[in-house]
Amino acid sequence: EDQVTQSPEALRLQEGESSSLNCSYTVSGLRGLFWYRQDPGKGPEFLFTLYSAGEEKEKERLKATLTKKESFLHITAPKPEDSATYLCAVQANTGGFKTIFGAGTRLFVKA
Amino acid sequence: IAGITQAPTSQILAAGRRMTLRCTQDMRHNAMYWYRQDLGLGLRLIHYSNTAGTTGKGEVPDGYSVSRANTDDFPLTLASAVPSQTSVYFCASSSSSAITGELFFGEGSRLTVL
């Protein structure tokens, strides 16, 4: 069964304190892995797509990496405005290409 | 501004009542989706439509129905609401279901069933 697990559930950082969020996945043929940001009371907003192991994508203070079993979202020198829930999702080659989401990691960055 | 519009934003509903959540997109995307989001469970797919005139069942379809009469609209109907359907519902779209890419989400509809 296709599955996505994110850890930790919540992460509290001081401004400038770099860290990483983890997304472990089990899927029968990975078509793509996605990262989204979700602010309270809003819909998820797309950040990155990763297609194959070894691939990396960057956007401002965020960098996403991918291996055959997991993805990391590295946050370098975070700011309070980076506080949000970060969602990981995978799309498999089977099952009608539906996207499966993890439960998310809630990130709090304190000034 | 291009995007997805959901209505209502929030609704309190008595159990047993019928409810339709509306979703309209203006991006001319072929694929549309309905997800529900519950604390600790993440987003779960209810129903999807790869193109106008076709629909399919997702992970948690029971108690819900959808239709896709045209490209832009994808309403979700709860025929007889139950308290377990209390959730935040998100409509999403993508240019194609078969090509990996980003999902565009609406702002959500918060539904409470009493």
Q: Of B14-23, B47-56, B96-105, which range is least confident?
A: B96-105
With CB atoms and an 8 Å threshold, state whether A43 touches B98. no
- What is the model's pLDDT at position A67? 95
Per DSSP, what are the bridge partners of residue B57? Answer: B47
Mean pLDDT of A23-41: 93
Per DSSP, what are the bridge partners of residue A38? Answer: A85
Residue A96 · residue A48 · CB < 8 Å: no
Using CB atoms, which residue from A4, A43, A46 is nearest to B108? A43
Mean pLDDT of B20-37: 95
- What is the model's pLDDT at position B97? 65
- What is the model's pLDDT at position A95? 64
Which residues of chain A have a CB within 8 Å of the CB of B41?
103
In the numeric block, the tokens 């539906």 are attached to A98
Mean pLDDT, chain B, integer:
93
Strands B56-57 and B42-49, bridge-based pairing? antiparallel
Q: What percent of chain B has pLDDT over 70?
A: 94
Which residues of chain A have a CB within 8 Å of the CB of B88?
none
- What is the model's pLDDT at position B100? 59
Residue B111 · residue B8 · CB < 8 Å: no
Confidence of residue B39 (pLDDT cuts 50, 70, 90): confident
Mean pLDDT of B3-13: 96
Confidence of residue B35 (pLDDT cuts 50, 70, 90): very high
Confidence of residue A66 (pLDDT cuts 50, 70, 90): very high
- What is the model's pLDDT at position A98? 74
Please provide residue A82's backbone torsions phi and psi, each rounded to the nearest 5 degrees.
-80, -5
- The CA distance from B101 to the nearest CA of chain A, in Å, is 7
Per-residue pLDDT at A9 exceeds 90? yes
- What is the model's pLDDT at position B41? 85
* CA distances for B72 relative to A55, B33, B69, B88, angstroms: 34, 12, 9, 21
Which of B21, B38, B102, B104 has the highest number of chain A CBs within 10 A, making it the mutation to test binding with A? Answer: B102
Mean pLDDT of A3-11: 96
